[in-house]
């Protein structure tokens, strides 16, 4: 619940928020970036929700925000495989808004943000609120928390965490 609350507050800020990704964004890092309005990425990074690989699911509204951002089919791929995607794929899918070489990332981010400085802040805040009014994530956040809680009781999660710590392949039992 705290993660949901923190990321919801970030998403609901009246100001426009930007995530500048200069390194891989996996799990909670991607969920944090998804809570921002826009994402600018270095061309060498990868993004993933890998939680399924240790037998659990994202816990901070990452799945619902991912669906909103890239659609059901692509979100299903990322969520159910845990596979990372590169920055160019993320851009093509609409997950990130700008991609630049690492050395040019700051300049690219500044150029992207500059586009928003020209607009009226009151209109921007109201526009952001208007768009947010069409998003109803309450039910999905409850379901996501419920699904994550269920996985917390499984042998698969215990095995996933242990294999991660021991840096070995997982041997899931389906229980």
In the DSSP assignment, the letter for residue 35 is T
> Do 78 and 50 meet the contact criterion of CB atoms below 8 Å apart?
no
Whether 31 sits among the annotated catalytic residues: the reply is yes
Other residues' Cβ atoms within 10 Å of the Cβ of residue 76: 14
Other residues' Cβ atoms within 10 Å of the Cβ of residue 100: 19
Q: Which of 51, 103, 159, 166 is catalytic?
A: 51
> Do 54 and 160 meet the contact criterion of CB atoms below 8 Å apart?
yes
> Do 43 and 102 meet the contact criterion of CB atoms below 8 Å apart?
yes
Whether 104 sits among the annotated catalytic residues: the reply is no
> Do 79 and 143 meet the contact criterion of CB atoms below 8 Å apart?
no
Q: Residue 3's closest CA among 55, 47, 65, 93?
A: 65
Q: Which of 31, 103, 135, 155 is catalytic?
A: 31
φ and ψ at residue 77, rounded to 5 degrees: -60, -50
Residues designated as active site: 31, 51
């Amino acid at each position: 619940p705290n993660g949901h609350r923190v990321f919801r507050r970030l998403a609901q800020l009246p100001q426009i928020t930007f995530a500048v990704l200069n390194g891989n964004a996996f799990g909670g890092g991607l969920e944090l970036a998804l809570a921002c309005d826009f994402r600018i990425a270095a061309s060498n990074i990868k993004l993933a929700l890998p939680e399924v690989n240790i037998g659990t699911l994202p816990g901070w509204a990452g799945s619902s925000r991912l669906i909103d951002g890239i659609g059901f089919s692509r979100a299903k791929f990322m969520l159910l495989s845990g596979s990372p995607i590169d920055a160019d794929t993320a851009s093509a899918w609409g997950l990130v808004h700008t991609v630049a070489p690492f050395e040019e990332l700051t300049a690219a981010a500044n150029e992207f943000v500059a586009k928003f400085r020209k607009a009226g802040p009151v209109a921007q805040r109201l526009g952001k609120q208007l768009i947010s009014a069409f998003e109803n994530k309450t039910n999905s956040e409850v379901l996501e928390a419920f699904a994550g809680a269920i996985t917390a009781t499984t042998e698969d999660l215990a095995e996933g965490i242990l294999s991660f710590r021991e840096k070995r392949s997982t041997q899931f039992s389906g229980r």
